[in-house]
Amino acid sequence: MKNQLNLLLIFCVAILFFSCENKAPATPKDLLKENLIPKPVSVNGTGSSFAITSATEIFINGDSEELKRVGEIFANELKPATGFDFPIKNTDAAPATGNFYFTLIKNDKLGNEGYQLTITEDLVQLEANQPAGIFRGIQTIKQLLPPSIAKNTAQSGPWEIASGSITDYPNYEYRGAMLDVSRHFFGVEDVKKYIDYIASYKMNVLHLHLTDDQGWRIEIKKWPNLTTMGGTTEVGGTKGGFFTQEDYKEIVSYAMERHIMIVPEIDMPGHTNAALASYAQLNCDGKARDLYTGIEVGFSTFCTRRELTYEFIDDVIRELVAMTPGPYIHIGGDESHETREDDYIYFISRVQEIVAKHGKQVMGWDDIVAGELKSNAVAQHWAKEENAKTAVDKNLKVVMSPAKKAYLDMKYDSTSTLGLHWAGYIEIDTGYDWDPANYIDGVGKENILGVECPLWTETVTNMDELEYMVFPRLLGYAEIGWSPDSGKKWDEYKIRLGKQKPRFEAMDLNYYASKLVPWSE
């Protein structure tokens, strides 16, 4: 009997020994000390850690293709730095120790994008109602790993994650960034990189400003000169470019896999010189305009009382809608100084009917509130507070992008060489320290769909310059959009931001090292 007991003991010890064989000993860590941006809703630490090893696999519960894709994207992001393969496997039950476990659940509190992350020494379990929530949670896991996870060559690790649990969900439904590809063109690879940047901070909208005076960037098959002619230039006279419809679809599906909606903008009736240069008949005087490479605004307009204009717009919107899974078509509408007011109002109504006919909702810069709008239209506040209030009076939802706070193209301070400053300087604290729901009297949280930070590119010509204007301000807007209202304090945020330095460096980012931030060494 005693021998039998001894044998049993040896057997158990052996099993324990072999089952631990693949696990590197993990150093205890404190989840509460991690510096996450955006800050999660709630965090609990349990004082140990999980370690990724070469044997770690990603287990997916259920056969959702979207969820599988999310797992693959995660695996592909972890591969370069770890050198590990991370096979994706289906399962119905919790896997063995040492693995990731992604599972879809039902939990009303988490909504469409929330997630519940539970990390023990044995398992990293991520639960959400939707694959989108799993994707957002993965961004948290990446930030819990050492900064060197962001490198694209093999690093030594160890790849440890502090144990504990995080419950997290967004404050606003719309958390966007805008990229102006008209003033300077940015190609498919650049846009994908930008999508990766915004995805890392749990944003869910990329608004693409596709047309302006200086360039038309989206192929419209029925009106080919828009791009073959109107797409050739950009600010400063350098060569422009455009997205073929295939390019554009590639961007849309890349974004969709990352649970990011593309909001395409065709800015009109002003900001249309590139179209007016491509087709003479769009001008009231029937004369084609010259291509434009300066940075003035407000000098161009479509011919608003001519039927052909609306036939043209119908073609453009139809082709665009065919490539747009999201609900919004952004019709611009800003700074139409050359359009008479009654013509402007008439134009907005006509275009709105076209957008509705093709099954989409209008989004526009806050200037559009001058028109008669359907109740599902969204006004993007950028300049005039009265316009945001009018939007609320008309019962419309507002996206908050006040230029003084949220414009990524504003200079940081008087020494910035890139950027404009018509709306002021936006240092990191100015960009972070405002509350969209307490910004304009009468425009409260219930009126606000979300927040967006636009990057206009009059002065931004390449990815290096883009990064400099975007980092680190982008993280602040991401936090404003995602994190709970309570607990947003610049003095606390700046410390978390400073801790991002090694991560920015691992990402090889050209960021603005503001003196206001205590960058970690």
Q: Which is nearer to ligand TNX, 127 or 458 (CB)?
A: 458
Q: Is 335 in the site for ligand TNX (CB under 6 A)?
A: yes
Q: Is 385 in the site for ligand TNX (CB under 6 A)?
A: no
| Binding positions for ligand TNX, 282-301, rule CB under 6 A | 297
CB of 273 to ligand TNX, least distance (A): 12
Among 481, 487, 455, 482, smallest CA distance to 468 is for: 455
Binding-site residue total for ligand TNX (CB under 6 A)? 10
Other beta carbons within 10 Å of 33: 10
Q: Which is nearer to ligand TNX, 242 or 382 (CB)?
A: 382
Beta bridge partners of 159: 52
From first CA to last CA, the distance across the chain in angstroms is 62
Q: Which is nearer to ligand TNX, 43 or 331 (CB)?
A: 331
Q: Which of 100, 102, 407, 432 binds ligand TNX (CB under 6 A)?
A: 407
Q: Is 66 part of the annotated catalytic residue set?
A: no
| Binding positions for ligand TNX, 420-439, rule CB under 6 A | 420
CA distance readout (Å), 319 to 245, 326, 431: 9, 14, 36
Whether 330 and 363 have beta carbons less than 8 Å apart is answered as yes
Q: How many CA atoms lie within 13 A of 252 on its CB side?
A: 18
Dump the DSSP string for 69-137: HHHHHHHHHHHHHH-----EEEESS---TTEEEEEE---GGGTTT-EEEEE-SSEEEEEESSHHHHHHH
Q: Which is nearer to ligand TNX, 300 or 514 (CB)?
A: 300
Q: Is 186 in the site for ligand TNX (CB under 6 A)?
A: no
**Residue 419 CA to its chain's centroid (Å):** 21
Q: Which of 100, 159, 344, 382 binds ligand TNX (CB under 6 A)?
A: 382
| Binding positions for ligand TNX, 343-372, rule CB under 6 A | 365
CB of 176 to ligand TNX, least distance (A): 14
Read off the tokens for 312. Answer: 């043209």
| Cβ burial, residue 236 (10 Å; 0-12/13-18/19+) | middle
Distance CA 273, CA 215 (A): 8
Among 151, 237, 174, smallest CA distance to 509 is for: 151
Q: Is 456 in the site for ligand TNX (CB under 6 A)?
A: yes
Q: Which is nearer to ligand TNX, 285 or 296 (CB)?
A: 296
Cis peptide before 472 (omega within 30 of 0): yes
Q: Which is nearer to ligand TNX, 231 or 419 (CB)?
A: 419
Q: Give the contact letters, 460-489, x = binds to ligand TNX (CB under 6 A), - = no.
A: ------------------------------
| Binding positions for ligand TNX, 116-145, rule CB under 6 A | none
CB of 208 to ligand TNX, least distance (A): 14
Q: Is 113 in the site for ligand TNX (CB under 6 A)?
A: no
Q: Is 409 in the site for ligand TNX (CB under 6 A)?
A: yes
| Active-site annotation holder among 121, 173, 257, 335 | 335
Q: Is 334 in the site for ligand TNX (CB under 6 A)?
A: yes
Whether 380 and 364 have beta carbons less than 8 Å apart is answered as yes
Q: Which residues are catalytic?
A: 335
| Residues lying near ligand TNX in the complex (CB under 6 A) | 297, 334-335, 365, 382, 407, 409, 420, 456, 458
